[in-house]
Amino acid sequence: MAKATFAAGCFWGVEAAFRQIPGVSSTRVGYTGGELKNPTYQQVCSDRTGHAEAVEVEYDPAKVKYDDLLQAFWENHDATQLNRQGPDSGTQYRSAIFYHSPEQEQAARKSKSELEKSGNFSRPIVTQIVPAVTFYEAEDYHQQYLEKRGLATCHIQ
Protein backbone atom coordinates (compact mmCIF):
# COMPACT_ATOMS: atom_id res chain seq x y z
CA MET A 1 0.00 0.00 0.00
CA ALA A 2 1.04 3.61 -0.59
CA LYS A 3 -0.10 6.94 0.78
CA ALA A 4 -1.06 10.21 -0.92
CA THR A 5 -2.25 13.44 0.67
CA PHE A 6 -4.26 16.20 -0.99
CA ALA A 7 -5.91 19.46 0.06
CA ALA A 8 -8.61 20.84 -2.22
CA GLY A 9 -11.02 22.87 -0.13
CA CYS A 10 -13.53 21.37 2.27
CA PHE A 11 -12.37 17.84 2.91
CA TRP A 12 -15.83 16.21 2.90
CA GLY A 13 -16.32 16.28 -0.87
CA VAL A 14 -12.67 15.60 -1.62
CA GLU A 15 -12.75 12.48 0.53
CA ALA A 16 -15.97 11.29 -1.15
CA ALA A 17 -14.37 11.66 -4.60
CA PHE A 18 -11.29 9.64 -3.67
CA ARG A 19 -13.34 6.90 -2.00
CA GLN A 20 -14.95 6.14 -5.38
CA ILE A 21 -11.66 5.28 -7.09
CA PRO A 22 -10.96 1.55 -7.51
CA GLY A 23 -7.68 0.73 -5.80
CA VAL A 24 -8.18 3.23 -2.98
CA SER A 25 -8.40 1.12 0.16
CA SER A 26 -9.07 3.84 2.73
CA THR A 27 -9.24 7.56 3.29
CA ARG A 28 -9.20 9.80 6.31
CA VAL A 29 -9.69 13.51 6.61
CA GLY A 30 -7.56 15.74 8.75
CA TYR A 31 -5.27 18.69 9.05
CA THR A 32 -1.72 19.12 7.78
CA GLY A 33 0.79 21.73 6.71
CA GLY A 34 0.60 23.93 9.79
CA GLU A 35 2.44 24.50 13.02
CA LEU A 36 -0.10 23.67 15.75
CA LYS A 37 0.11 20.14 17.15
CA ASN A 38 -3.15 18.17 17.43
CA PRO A 39 -5.40 20.96 16.14
CA THR A 40 -9.17 20.84 16.45
CA TYR A 41 -11.61 21.71 13.68
CA GLN A 42 -12.46 24.96 15.44
CA GLN A 43 -8.78 25.91 15.64
CA VAL A 44 -8.17 25.12 11.97
CA CYS A 45 -11.28 27.13 11.01
CA SER A 46 -9.80 30.16 12.79
CA ASP A 47 -7.32 30.37 9.88
CA ARG A 48 -4.50 30.82 12.41
CA THR A 49 -2.95 27.34 12.56
CA GLY A 50 -1.42 27.17 9.08
CA HIS A 51 -3.11 23.80 8.53
CA ALA A 52 -5.09 22.83 5.46
CA GLU A 53 -8.13 20.58 5.49
CA ALA A 54 -6.74 17.52 3.72
CA VAL A 55 -7.43 13.93 2.75
CA GLU A 56 -4.96 11.14 3.29
CA VAL A 57 -5.49 8.37 0.74
CA GLU A 58 -4.21 4.84 1.15
CA TYR A 59 -4.05 3.04 -2.17
CA ASP A 60 -2.73 -0.03 -3.91
CA PRO A 61 -0.25 1.04 -6.63
CA ALA A 62 -0.90 -2.24 -8.44
CA LYS A 63 -4.54 -1.20 -8.89
CA VAL A 64 -4.38 2.58 -9.23
CA LYS A 65 -1.53 4.84 -10.30
CA TYR A 66 -0.55 7.98 -8.44
CA ASP A 67 -1.11 9.81 -11.74
CA ASP A 68 -4.76 8.70 -11.60
CA LEU A 69 -5.08 10.14 -8.10
CA LEU A 70 -3.56 13.39 -9.36
CA GLN A 71 -6.12 13.48 -12.16
CA ALA A 72 -8.95 13.06 -9.63
CA PHE A 73 -7.42 15.83 -7.51
CA TRP A 74 -7.32 18.28 -10.42
CA GLU A 75 -10.85 17.36 -11.58
CA ASN A 76 -12.49 17.79 -8.19
CA HIS A 77 -11.66 21.39 -7.34
CA ASP A 78 -10.73 24.73 -8.85
CA ALA A 79 -6.94 24.89 -8.57
CA THR A 80 -6.94 28.56 -9.62
CA GLN A 81 -8.69 29.82 -6.48
CA LEU A 82 -6.20 31.06 -3.90
CA ASN A 83 -7.08 29.99 -0.35
CA ARG A 84 -10.69 29.21 -1.16
CA GLN A 85 -13.11 26.87 -2.85
CA GLY A 86 -16.51 28.29 -3.66
CA PRO A 87 -17.93 29.99 -0.57
CA ASP A 88 -15.24 28.59 1.76
CA SER A 89 -12.30 30.93 2.22
CA GLY A 90 -9.13 30.89 4.28
CA THR A 91 -5.75 29.21 4.06
CA GLN A 92 -7.28 26.00 5.44
CA TYR A 93 -9.08 25.64 2.07
CA ARG A 94 -5.96 26.03 -0.07
CA SER A 95 -5.08 23.73 -2.93
CA ALA A 96 -2.06 21.59 -2.10
CA ILE A 97 -0.38 18.31 -2.91
CA PHE A 98 1.63 16.91 0.00
CA TYR A 99 4.10 14.46 -1.54
CA HIS A 100 5.47 11.42 0.31
CA SER A 101 8.35 10.57 -2.04
CA PRO A 102 10.55 12.11 -4.72
CA GLU A 103 8.52 10.17 -7.30
CA GLN A 104 5.27 11.72 -6.07
CA GLU A 105 6.86 15.18 -6.13
CA GLN A 106 8.06 14.68 -9.70
CA ALA A 107 4.65 13.38 -10.85
CA ALA A 108 2.82 16.25 -9.14
CA ARG A 109 5.08 18.91 -10.65
CA LYS A 110 4.80 17.32 -14.10
CA SER A 111 0.99 17.15 -13.95
CA LYS A 112 0.74 20.75 -12.76
CA SER A 113 3.08 21.90 -15.52
CA GLU A 114 1.07 20.04 -18.16
CA LEU A 115 -2.16 21.63 -16.91
CA GLU A 116 -0.58 25.09 -16.95
CA LYS A 117 0.51 24.57 -20.56
CA SER A 118 -2.87 23.14 -21.62
CA GLY A 119 -4.52 26.54 -21.94
CA ASN A 120 -7.60 25.22 -20.11
CA PHE A 121 -7.34 27.83 -17.36
CA SER A 122 -7.78 31.58 -17.68
CA ARG A 123 -6.02 32.13 -14.34
CA PRO A 124 -2.81 30.69 -12.90
CA ILE A 125 -2.88 27.42 -10.97
CA VAL A 126 -2.11 28.24 -7.33
CA THR A 127 -1.70 24.67 -6.03
CA GLN A 128 1.18 24.22 -3.62
CA ILE A 129 3.39 21.14 -4.01
CA VAL A 130 5.10 20.55 -0.68
CA PRO A 131 6.54 17.69 1.38
CA ALA A 132 4.08 15.74 3.50
CA VAL A 133 4.38 16.54 7.19
CA THR A 134 2.48 15.32 10.23
CA PHE A 135 -1.13 14.53 9.41
CA TYR A 136 -3.58 15.06 12.27
CA GLU A 137 -6.77 13.04 11.87
CA ALA A 138 -9.92 15.15 12.11
CA GLU A 139 -12.65 14.46 14.60
CA ASP A 140 -14.65 11.29 13.98
CA TYR A 141 -17.80 13.11 12.85
CA HIS A 142 -15.84 14.48 9.86
CA GLN A 143 -14.75 11.03 8.64
CA GLN A 144 -16.82 9.92 5.63
CA TYR A 145 -19.16 12.81 6.44
CA LEU A 146 -21.13 12.78 3.19
CA GLU A 147 -21.36 9.00 3.04
CA LYS A 148 -22.83 8.89 6.56
CA ARG A 149 -25.52 11.33 5.40
CA GLY A 150 -26.34 9.55 2.14
CA LEU A 151 -24.84 12.32 0.01
CA ALA A 152 -22.60 11.73 -2.99
CA THR A 153 -20.78 15.03 -3.28
CA CYS A 154 -20.54 18.65 -2.22
CA HIS A 155 -17.48 19.81 -4.17
CA ILE A 156 -17.32 22.75 -6.52
CA GLN A 157 -16.62 21.95 -10.17
Alpha carbon 59 to chain centroid distance? 14
**Catalytic (active-site) positions:** 10
Q: Give the chain's length.
A: 157
Q: Residue 57: CB partners within 8 Å, gap ≥ 6? A: 3, 4, 5, 6, 18, 24, 26, 27, 69
> SS3 for 12?
helix
Rg (CA), the chain: 14
* Residues paired with residue 6 on neighbouring β-strands, in sequence order: 55, 97
CA 145 vs. chain centroid, Å, equals 15
